[in-house]
Amino acid sequence: MQQLPRSGEVVRLGPAASPQFTRPVTARMIRPAHELDEVPMDGWRWLDVYVLDEKGDAVERRALYVRVQGVLRCNGREVSRRDHQVVAGADPSNGRNV
């Protein structure tokens, strides 16, 4: 199984992480939410994160239930509008799902 993101790491959460992310979300990892993991489904975990806006500012703190294999690491680079479209599976030529 894929390793969980580290605290402070920026990740992208799209449909591969959970069906709730029809529009991808960029988030900064706070920590795995272990206290919520009493009996998680295989490959799924609760993550405590800050949801980030387009500027990279935290706008909301959330506990999210995600499929670990679907979590995309940003590796310290900024996420572009094109990344939003590709992760969402949208047509990069239009501005929807951004």
Q: According to the model, what pLDDT value does residue 1 have? A: 54
Percent of the chain with pLDDT over 70: 67
Regarding pTM above 0.85, the answer is: no
Domain coordinates in residue numbering, the chain: 10-88
CA distance 85 to 98: 6
Which comes out higher in pLDDT, residue 20 or 34?
Answer: 20
In the structure, what pLDDT confidence band is assigned to residue 3 with cuts at 50, 70 and 90?
confident
In the structure, what pLDDT confidence band is assigned to residue 86 with cuts at 50, 70 and 90?
very low
Kindly tell me the burial class for residue 59, based on how many C-beta atoms sit within 10 Å of its own C-beta (0-12, 13-18, 19 or more): exposed
CA distance 2 to 5: 9
CA distance 79 to 55: 10
* Tokens linked to 2: 């894929």
